[in-house]
């Protein structure tokens, strides 16, 4: 029944932005045409969707059909294998939207269920289930966070006037939307240039209470001002600074203010390290230096571009390289959506399907 899988997909979506490097997963348990349990994976390290759903179903799980958006796992990760739980609970049939591409699972969950005599069907609403997890699917391949670039520019792609005036490029509605973006990622990355120029807090300020992203700054020389909003709030909300500086007094001064320091080797290493720390989605809000490096390195998976319908002119573009061409050689993003937000344009682009 498609409808039960649709419910499972909706349940999975409830935890969007909360699961770190883990996928969004939903599960619904059905017995004699009645829903007897449901659940979603809410947070990395916590029980998987099937565990919540089966617990809710209790004894009714025996002889039931379980609809789950991702193949039940077969590995001992932070939690025991879901396939075993389904088998032990006496589930009769399992309907799975998509196989888990995680090499630790990759068909073994399905094989285990079948070996136990459970009827298994794979592929119901597979496209919808894949669409739940672009970040998880891409990161499995890259071992880096899913990187979302945010830019706010004029129609001619400028981030400021040549005078430096950049407050505000877009209207209040678009800026509020950025706060929703921040609330939906695990970390926000910026460069020291932006910290000095704009003094951003990089927090998600919404009307509703929300989890805050880890704030990450690339700052080779350790020039981050002690009076900056980031440093002043570092004791309450974590700030991680990647640096090459071995200036002991600068390091100690920042550490005593609650800033965590890490070694800055390469951009690629920083991204890999953030992923290893559990950062599944990373939002980049940075100036032209970092944005150019990330675009040139091919690290941007998704791009949210806000454009103000006016022309700034001048030189303050967000991108500094100059492609040699030919034009066909320049990678194109896929345009996913275009909408008006206040009196600005919001354009969402992605690198091809993961």
* 267 vs 173: CA distance, rounded Å: 32
Dig out the tokens for 282 from the structure.
Answer: 């990373």
Q: Which is nearer to Zn ion, 12 or 214 (CB)?
A: 12
> Residue 290: helix, strand or coil by DSSP?
helix
Q: Considering only the C-alpha atoms of the chain, give the largest distance between any 2 of them, rounded to a whole number of Å.
A: 71
Question: Which residue's entry shows tokens 């990759």?
Answer: 106
* 49 near Zn ion, rule: CB under 5 A: no
Active site residue 50: yes
Binding site for ligand AOF (CB under 6 A): 22-23, 25, 41, 44, 48-50, 70, 72-73, 77-79, 82, 100, 102, 105
Rounded to 5 degrees, φ, ψ at 12 are -60, -45
Dig out the tokens for 60 from the structure.
Answer: 């009714």
Site string for Zn ion, 75-94 (x = CB under 5 A): -------x------------
- Cβ neighbours of residue 114 closer than 8 Å, sequence gap 6 or more: 120
Q: Which is nearer to ligand AOF, 30 or 241 (CB)?
A: 30
Dig out the tokens for 225 from the structure.
Answer: 């001002």
Among 24, 57, 61, 73, binds Zn ion (CB under 5 A): 73
Smallest distance, Å, CB 178 to ligand AOF? Answer: 28
Dig out the tokens for 126 from the structure.
Answer: 């597979």
Smallest distance, Å, CB 70 to Zn ion? Answer: 8
Q: Which is nearer to Zn ion, 80 or 342 (CB)?
A: 80
* 295 near Zn ion, rule: CB under 5 A: no
Beta bridge partners of 31: 34
From residue 88, give the alpha-carbon distance in Å to each of 39, 112, 217, 292.
18, 12, 48, 53
Please count the residues of this chain forming the interface with Zn ion, following the rule CB under 5 A: 3
- From 46, 50, 268, 328, active-site residue: 50
Smallest distance, Å, CB 93 to ligand AOF? Answer: 16
Q: Which is nearer to Zn ion, 73 or 316 (CB)?
A: 73
* 41 near Zn ion, rule: CB under 5 A: no
Instruction: Name the site residues for Zn ion (rule: CB under 5 A).
Output: 48, 73, 82
**Among all residues, which ones are annotated catalytic?**
50
């Amino acid at each position: 029944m498609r409808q039960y899988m649709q419910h499972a997909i909706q349940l999975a979506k409830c935890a969007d932005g909360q699961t770190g490097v883990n996928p969004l997963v939903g599960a619904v348990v059905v017995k004699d045409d009645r829903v007897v349990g449901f659940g979603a994976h809410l947070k990395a390290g916590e029980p998987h969707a099937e565990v919540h759903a089966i617990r809710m179903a209790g004894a009714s799980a025996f002889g039931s059909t379980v609809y789950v958006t991702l193949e039940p796992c077969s590995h001992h990760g932070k939690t025991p294998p879901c396939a075993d739980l389904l088998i032990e609970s006496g589930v009769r049939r399992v309907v799975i939207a998509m196989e888990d591409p995680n090499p630790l699972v990759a068909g073994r969950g399905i094989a285990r269920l079948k070996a136990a005599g459970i009827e298994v069907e794979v592929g119901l609403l597979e496209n919808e289930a894949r669409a739940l997890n672009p970040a998880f699917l891409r990161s499995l391949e890259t071992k880096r966070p899913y990187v979302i670039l945010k830019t706010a520019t004029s129609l001619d792609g400028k981030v400021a006037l040549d005078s430096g005036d950049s407050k505000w490029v877009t209207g209040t509605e678009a800026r509020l939307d950025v706060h929703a973006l921040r609330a939906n990622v695990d970390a926000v990355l910026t460069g020291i240039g932006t910290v000095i120029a704009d003094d951003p807090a990089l927090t998600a300020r919404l009307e509703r209470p929300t989890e805050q992203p880890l704030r990450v700054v690339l700052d080779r020389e350790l020039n981050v001002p002690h009076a900056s909003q980031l440093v002043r709030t570092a004791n309450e909300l974590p700030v991680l600074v990647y640096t090459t500086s071995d200036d002991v007094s600068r390091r100690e001064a920042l550490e005593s203010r609650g800033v965590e320091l890490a070694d800055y080797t390469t951009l690629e290493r920083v991204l890999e390290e953030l992923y290893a720390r559990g950062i599944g989605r990373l939002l980049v809000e940075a100036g032209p230096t970092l944005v150019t490096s990330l675009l040139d390195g091919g690290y941007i998976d998704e791009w949210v571009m806000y454009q103000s319908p006016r022309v700034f002119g001048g030189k303050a573009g967000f991108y500094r390289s100059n492609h040699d061409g030919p034009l066909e050689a320049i990678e194109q993003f896929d345009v996913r959506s275009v909408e008006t937000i206040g009196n600005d344009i919001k354009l969402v682009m992605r690198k091809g399907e993961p």
